[in-house]
Amino acid sequence: MLATDLDGTLLGSKRTVSRADWDALVALGERGIVRVIATGRSLYSARKVLTSDLPIDYLVYSSGAGAITWPGEEPVFGHSMAADLAQVVDAELQRLGCDFMAQYPAPDTHKFSYVGCSGARNLDFDHRIELYQEHATARRGALGHAVSQFVVVSRQMGGVALFEELKQRLAQCNVVRTTSPLDDHSVWIEVFPANVSKAAGCAAIARKHMIEPAQTMGIGNDFNDLDMLDWVGSAFVVANGPAEMRGRYEVVASNDAGGLSQAIARWRP
For residue 187, give the CATH number of its domain. Answer: 3.30.1240.10
CA neighbor of 201 nearest in space, from 241, 238, 132, 148: 148
Q: What is the mean pLDDT of the chain?
A: 96
* Of the residues 172, 193, 214, the one at which a domain ends: 193
Quote the domain boundaries for residue 26. 2-79+197-266
Q: How far apart are CA 86 and CA 61, in angstroms?
A: 20
* Stretch among 136-145, 156-165, 179-188 having the lowest mean pLDDT: 156-165
CA neighbor of 63 nearest in space, from 78, 85, 41, 34: 41
Q: Are residues 99 and 131 in the same domain?
A: yes
Q: Are residues 66 and 116 in the same domain?
A: no
Q: Are residues 72 and 154 in the same domain?
A: no
Please report, in angstroms and rounded to a whole number, the separation of the first and last CA atoms in the chain: 8
Q: How far apart are CA 240 and CA 15, in angstroms?
A: 15
Q: Are residues 43 and 141 in the same domain?
A: no
Q: How far apart are CA 62 and CA 60, in angstroms?
A: 7
Q: What is the pLDDT of residues 200-233, one digit of tens each?
A: 999 999 999 999 999 999 999 999 999 999 999 9
pTM score of the predicted model = 0.95
Confidence grade of residue 155 (pLDDT, cut at 50, 70, 90): confident
Q: Are residues 140 and 157 in the same domain?
A: yes
Structural domain count, the chain = 2
Task: Give the per-residue pLDDT at 89.
Answer: 97
Task: Give the per-residue pLDDT at 268.
Answer: 80
Q: What is the pLDDT of residues 74-88, one digit of tens each?
A: 999 999 999 999 999
Q: What is the DSSP string of 151-178?
A: EEEE-STTHHHHHHHHHHHTTTEEEEEE
User: The domain spanning residue 254 has which CATH number?
Assistant: 3.40.50.1000
* Of the residues 148, 165, 193, the one at which a domain ends: 193
Task: Give the per-residue pLDDT at 157.
Answer: 63
Q: How far apart are CA 99 and CA 116, in angstroms?
A: 4
Q: How far apart are CA 252 and CA 69, in angstroms?
A: 28
Q: How far apart are CA 66 and CA 80, in angstroms?
A: 9
Confidence grade of residue 185 (pLDDT, cut at 50, 70, 90): confident
* Residues 6+ away with beta carbon under 8 Å from 129: 114, 136
Q: What is the pLDDT of residues 236-258, one digit of tens each?
A: 999 999 999 999 999 999 999 99
Q: Are 191 and 92 in contact (CB under 8 A)?
A: no
Q: Are residues 43 and 89 in the same domain?
A: no
